[in-house]
Amino acid sequence: MFKSGNYRFSWKDLGDIEAGRPNLGNLMKVAVYRLMQYTLRDVLNRHLSVEKATELFREAGKLAGTEFCVNLLDRSLPFNGFMADLQEKLLSLKIGVLRVEKTDFEKMEFILTVAEDLDCSGLPFADETVCEYDEGFFAGVLEAYTGRVFDAREIDCWASGDRTCRFKVTSKE
Ligand SMILES: [Zn+2]
């Protein structure tokens, strides 16, 4: 599976968690998720470069967003309904509290905010945004929904001193 050179992620690879963890169940601590992500970041930064690691996190986030959209969201809904569906799923999975702050369909530009973000809320102040995985995630979700190519950049982050992460998502076409 993972050791195959041509492994490509598929939603079913997440496995049957109910069957696999009959006693421990589906939940674990946020710190464990962050431990995985930040140690991976440490290793990628050292073995590659900060720039490359950032790019890879964003790319992985985009893959996650695309698969999330295809497997969990209703792509037949109009935009507002679709975003409400996304908001509800992010909330029920305890990923974060999403708000659509601004939409501009002419420019295909969106401002999204995430409060209590899984990736960064509560981090010590670092004067930098850290949610590259989320950047990719939102770009991936909107790409899978619209069929257009999107780019997302985090403009405010808990780590940069804000209480809410804020993402500017723009169409690259
Ligand atoms: Zn953030």
pLDDT tens by residue, 74-128 = 999 999 999 999 999 999 999 999 999 999 999 999 999 999 999 999 999 999 9
Q: Which residues place a Cβ less than 5 A from the ion ligand 1?
A: 120, 131, 157, 165
> What distance in Å separates the CA atoms of residue 147 and residue 56, rounded to the nearest whole number?
22
Cα-to-centroid distance, 22 and ligand 1 (Å): 33
Distance 132 CA to ligand 1 centre (A): 8
Average pLDDT, integer, range 46-67 = 98
Residue 114 Cα to ligand 1 midpoint, Å, equals: 8
**pLDDT of the residue at 1:** 87
Decide if pLDDT at 173 tops 90: no
Is the CA virtual torsion 71, 24, 32, 124 positive or negative? positive
- CA count, 13 A, side-chain hemisphere, 98: 23
* Chain centre to alpha carbon of residue 139: 9
| pLDDT 10s digits, 7-20 | 999 999 999 999 99
CA 130 to chain centre: 12
CA 128 to centroid of ligand 1, rounded, Å: 9
CA distance between the termini of the chain? 36
Instruction: State residue 149 phi and psi, 5-degree precision.
Output: -90, 130
Average pLDDT of the chain to the nearest whole number: 96
Which contiguous run of DSSP H or E holds residue 168? strand 164-171
